Amino acid sequence: MRLDDWSDTENDAVVASYFAMLSDELAGQSYVKASHNRLLQEQIGRTRGSIEFKYCNVSAAAKGFGLPIIKGYQPRFNFQMTLAEAISRWLAKHPEWETALHNPLHSEFAEATTLFVGVAPTLRNTPPPEETEKLRAVAMRFDIAGRDERNRKLGRAGEEVVFHRERAQLKELGLHDLARRVRWTSQEDGDGAGYDILSFLPDGGERLIEVKTTNGWERTPFHISRNELEVANARRDDWYLFRLYDFARAPKAFEIRPPLEAHVALTATSFQASFG
């Protein structure tokens, strides 16, 4: 039995195998995990057990990337950063993979009010420290929040789900006039308002909804702009952050309200540079 560290070539092979299975799973296609394992044994000469364990390591690293993971391969967090680098290489070589996760949009959610909206995670019920440190290290190293923010198809798909959900909920209450007034602000007026959706409470009060979407788990970090923070503070009675997660598989959500510092740790990630 080999006890040496996995090489970049071996890590690339196990990551490619993992994403082949994950792609089938997300597409609702059947696959046989044992067959993938046997092929990998032949390819890299590792044992069945070591490969199974490595698949669980890939799940952990993929979780840090804000990606869906394979059911049945529960994350094991004793992975090396070289495995995360292999995931980064695979994603760079297959930029269409994440885009395809949201094409077409989840039509079953577009006009539904059944989207599960649960309780937001808090700073007090964090996972074990060793898991948190690994996930944070991957998220910071590969700017996962930035990747989600730059994924325009993902962001637009999440906003569309929330837009239709807000209208559908008001219609269910018989408030058709308010439903017609719901606006997809970021699409109709462009970014800059400090929120994406203008919706309404049953009493007619405004709901200014900023939507943040990820394919990852509920604690995947996200970016929030200075303008969004300023609007959240200025309109704290009306402003809502609507966090969609696990979006590629079975979208779920939670809402948080200002002050955001009560729910998340805000970290400055960029600085403006000027001359003079």
Return all residues near 112 (Cβ < 8 A) that are at least 6 apart: 164, 165, 168
**Cα distance between residue 142 and residue 150, in whole Å:** 13
What DSSP designation does 262 have? G
Alpha-carbon torsion, ordered 81, 86, 90, 95, to 10 deg: 30
**Cα distance between residue 274 and residue 262, in whole Å:** 32
Q: Which pLDDT score, from 0 to 100, does residue 104 have?
A: 47
What DSSP designation does 125 have? S
Strands 206-213 and 239-245: parallel
Q: Which pLDDT score, from 0 to 100, does residue 122 have?
A: 74
* Confidence label for 4 from pLDDT (cuts 50, 70 and 90): confident
Please spell the DSSP secondary structure of 191-254, one letter per residue: TTSS-SEEEE-TTS-EEEEEEEE-SS-TT------HHHHHHHHHTTTTEEEEEEESTTTS-EEE
* Confidence label for 42 from pLDDT (cuts 50, 70 and 90): very high
Q: Which pLDDT tens digit goes with each residue over 18-28?
A: 999 999 999 99
Q: Is the pLDDT of residue 125 over 90?
A: no
- Beta-strand ranges (E) seen in 11-144 are 116-118
**Residues comprising the chain, all counted:** 276
Percent of the chain scored above 70 by pLDDT?
Answer: 91
137 is written with which tokens?
A: 């290290």
Q: Is the peptide bond before 259 cis (omega within 30 degrees of 0)?
A: yes
**Cα distance between residue 248 and residue 105, in whole Å:** 9
pTM of the entire predicted model: 0.87
